[in-house]
A = this chain, B = another copy of it.
Amino acid sequence: MRETPYQQLERRFHRLNALGEAAAVLHWDMSAIMPVGGAEGRAEQLAELKAVRHGMLTAPEVGDLLDEAENEAEGVLTGWQPANVREMRQRWIKATALSEDLVVALSKACSACETLWRTARADDDFASVRPALEEVLNLTREAAAAKGEKQGLSLYDALLDDYEPDGRAADIDPVFDALEAFLPDFLGQVLEAQAAKPEAIPPEGPFPEQTQKALGVQFMQALGFDFDHGRLDISLHPFCGGTPDDVRITTRYDEADFTSSLMGVLHETGHALYERGLPKTWRGQPVGDALGMSMHESQSLLIEMQVCRSQGFLGYAAPIMRSAFGGNGPAWDQDNLQRLYTRVEPGFIRVDADEVTYPAHVIMRYRLERAMIEGDMEIADLPGAWNDGMKKMLGLTPANDREGCLQDLHWFDGAWGYFPTYTLGAMTAAQLFDAAKTQVPEIEPGIAEGNFKPLFRWLKTHVHGKGSLLPAKELLIEATGKPLDPDIFKAHLNARYLA
């Protein structure tokens, strides 16, 4: 029997997925265990895989097959199939929007700029990377225009859509405005309240790497991580990689301080359990993939911030931590550990920021990148605008560009439109966890005794098991009853830091 257009598409996307998984494992290998001398060859392997996948996705027949599948009579495509076609079309539109020349030019400009950025950051020399960054911005705007035209989107939305499908600046603005109005006063109150409490004491090490790893594994397993379908390794920048059936997280260990590595492991475990929980029957099809970066970050932050820095979790976890390292004294008390894990301190560096000040870093970057993409600000004005923003948001003035506009790789590497997803993820995490706790009363007592099954049952039903069946916005409404609501995140912060 001849295959229908839809069946042909399924087969092609299955192959695309298998090659994408191959690339994902090679990426993991490169970041976690590859010897340095393998770098050149690995770059070629990944580039060729990318080229092959791009060719498969943009082959002339794919557009025709999509037209035919979309025009099938009512009822021919059933269940999750229409959503699958919708996701296929989105990928096809994005892949065909840019000319090969522009893709190559952008890729080269980003590589060149990233290299210059490493030196510029080390030397605190913004001027040396400025022309390269201008080139990246020009090409990014060109790409945004081409993608925007195909998708009917503004320049910024066209970029955002790559990280957050259906994400729109018009939806982000009111949410970030509300947060920005709330944060400065709130932060003042938090710092005041914190000063009135006993200071958090860091447990004293050394904490042997092997013990830290064993402890991480113990908590990962308690959360439901299955080592028959994944690994825990070491890398310079912790991440979650691999594939849904072989999901690999990494961390790094500091023998003087186990707390940040452990929280990093729990964060990545949140990402990993999202991948593992994706619907098995849609595996390999676009509809079976995870949603965009906001939802992915919401799953890591739900575990790390909502669950693992809570009183309930630390009541269960503090004795396990103490016993793992044979610790004693007040530093190991649950209350002290919770103070340590929720300490707030405004600082210059985003990746070191706490839960309260993190959104300030993100909102500032969001406003700056929109202004640059929309042509309202020049790269030359970035250092000054950055420092003004920090002063306004957190009352701090960076002493130099290294702790200012040179700190993050994103823009220099072409990742424009990515930043807002961090804070959207934090807010989504708060909203999902709030709904879950309300709907399932067993969740909170479960966490307090190390039983995470009620929580993950809810997440599986409302998030993980849905894949990309619904756009993220609709999924959030189905799961929580309303669109993203900054008041829920504010309520979480109030409860944790001021109650």
* A residues at B contact (CB < 8 Å): 15, 18-19, 21-23, 25-26, 29, 33-38, 40-42, 44-49, 51-52, 226-231, 242-243, 245-246, 284
Contact = CB atoms under 8 A, between A and B. Distances in A.
A186 to B, nearest CB: 44
A231 B22 contact: no
A44 B46 CA distance: 18
A18 B48 contact: yes
A104 to B, nearest CB: 15
Nearest to A34: B246
Given A48-B18, A48-B19, A37 B246 contact: yes
Given A15-B48, A19-B49, A48-B15, A246 B35 contact: yes
B228 A52 contact: no
25 contacts: A18-B45, A18-B47, A18-B48, A19-B45, A19-B49, A21-B41, A21-B44, A22-B22, A22-B23, A22-B49, A25-B42, A25-B45, A34-B246, A35-B227, A35-B230, A36-B228, A37-B226, A37-B228, A37-B229, A37-B230, A38-B245, A40-B245, A41-B245, A42-B246, A52-B52
Contact of A33 (B19, B226, B231, B243): B231
Contacts of A23: 22
Nearest to A227: B35
Contacts of A46: 22
Given A22-B22, A38-B243, 15 more contacts: A15-B48, A19-B48, A21-B41, A21-B44, A22-B49, A25-B26, A25-B45, A35-B227, A35-B231, A37-B229, A37-B230, A37-B245, A38-B229, A38-B242, A41-B243
Contacts of A246: 34-35, 37-38, 41-42
A285 to B, nearest CB: 13
A284 B40 CA distance: 12
A186 B228 CA distance: 51
B21 A45 contact: yes
A246 B230 CA distance: 23
Contacts of A230: 35, 37
A241 to B, nearest CB: 12
Contacts of A44: 18, 21, 284
A232 to B, nearest CB: 11
Contact of A35 (B33, B47, B229): B229
Contacts of A19: 45, 48-49, 52
Contacts of A52: 19, 52
B38 A29 contact: no
Nearest to A38: B246
A23 B45 CA distance: 9
A460 B227 CA distance: 43
Nearest to A18: B48
Nearest to A46: B22
A29 B18 CA distance: 16
